[in-house]
Amino acid sequence: MDIVKKKKTEDISDEMEFINVDWLLDHHKTKENERSQMVNDLNLKPGDRVLDLGCGPGLWTSMIAERIKPNGYVIGVDLSEDLIKYAKKRIRKNPLKKIIKFQQGDFFNIPFDDNSFDVVFFGNCYAYVTEAKRVLEEQKRVTTKYGRIIAKDFDGAIIIFHPIDPYLSAKILAATAKGLKEKPTHQFFNNYTGRELHGLFLKAGLKDISTKSYAIQKLAPLTQEAKSYITGNAKWYAEIGAPYLSETDLQEWYAHFDSTSDKYILNLEEFYFCMIEVVTEGIV
């Protein structure tokens, strides 16, 4: 698998997460229908000038372009040079490529003039940002008066893997929270960003703030991409919480996501996965 790393700048105290492109693609494919609905709910208009900040490989950028054609445009910006290169290659055959542009840029010093965009979209990025208020102020700078700033993120405290024993799931989630608090990884990561967005926008002085939560549900039969994404999530929770879990708990948890185990759950007809994602928007 190709691994690309977000570059470190003087404005970021911790390295950004190692981004696995294959995982991002699995993630997007798993939630493509729900993400399409989220973009529809943004009520973007033809002609809108949109900044997709933290665009990664450009997966949201293409969906945004569909809503602002034919005379709008969307610019995707990301700190990672490798992800920007990937995004540029990805749109070569996109019929809307004329209204899509990608460039490398810093969240803390967005490379555009004041009042450049009608809409700024910041998806799945606040979890990795050490100074959220500062990033939001920079987004306000490049947004026109009465323009919109939109953040989409997740809240990792609410996640269901059924039919795992709820008590085991609760122990895993509690251990993960404790691990992130007491033994944080070398990269900054906030697993509970979704609940904070509304307050962040209020404190930033944005107007007409609205927040909407989406339950992302996955049922059997699962696609291979969904299995990969869900398994990756489950293993991450266990790895972060491992110092606070018994070996028995860990073995049982991992067995549920091991396709060679008789406890494997992803092929069960009654399998149910659910997590919460949050979209908050406000007016400058």
Instruction: State the CATH number of the domain containing residue 164.
Output: 3.40.50.150
Residues forming beta bridges with residue 152, ordered by sequence position: 123, 279
Q: What is the pLDDT of residue 62?
A: 96
13-22, 46-55, 146-155, 218-227, range with the lowest pLDDT:
13-22
User: Average pLDDT in the 52-60 region?
Assistant: 96
With a cut of 90, say whether residue 4 has pLDDT above it. Answer: no
Q: What is the mean pLDDT of the chain?
A: 92
Q: What is the pLDDT of residue 262?
A: 97
Q: What is the pLDDT of residue 23?
A: 84
With a cut of 60, say whether residue 28 has pLDDT above it. Answer: yes
User: Average pLDDT in the 63-69 region?
Assistant: 97
Q: What is the pLDDT of residue 22?
A: 84
Q: What is the pLDDT of residue 14?
A: 33
Per the structure, how many domains does the chain have? 1
* CA gap 75, 97 in Å, rounded: 11
With a cut of 70, say whether residue 6 has pLDDT above it. Answer: no
48-62, 84-98, 174-188, range with the lowest pLDDT:
174-188
With a cut of 90, say whether residue 89 has pLDDT above it. Answer: yes
User: Average pLDDT in the 73-96 region?
Assistant: 95
Two tokens, residue 89? 């290659």
User: Average pLDDT in the 37-42 region?
Assistant: 96
The span from the first CA to the last CA of the chain, in angstroms, equals: 41
Q: Which residues of 26-46 are buried (b: 16+ CB within 10 A; e: fewer)?
A: bbbbbbeeebeebbeebebee
Say how far residue 128 (Cα) sits from the centre of its chain.
10
User: pLDDT tens for residues 186-245?
Assistant: 788 999 999 999 999 999 999 999 999 999 999 999 999 999 999 999 999 999 999 999
Domain that holds residue 197: 3-283
With a cut of 50, say whether residue 108 has pLDDT above it. Answer: yes
Q: What is the pLDDT of residue 19?
A: 53
Q: What is the pLDDT of residue 1?
A: 25
Reported pTM: 0.89
User: Average pLDDT in the 278-282 region?
Assistant: 98
* CA gap 234, 144 in Å, rounded: 41
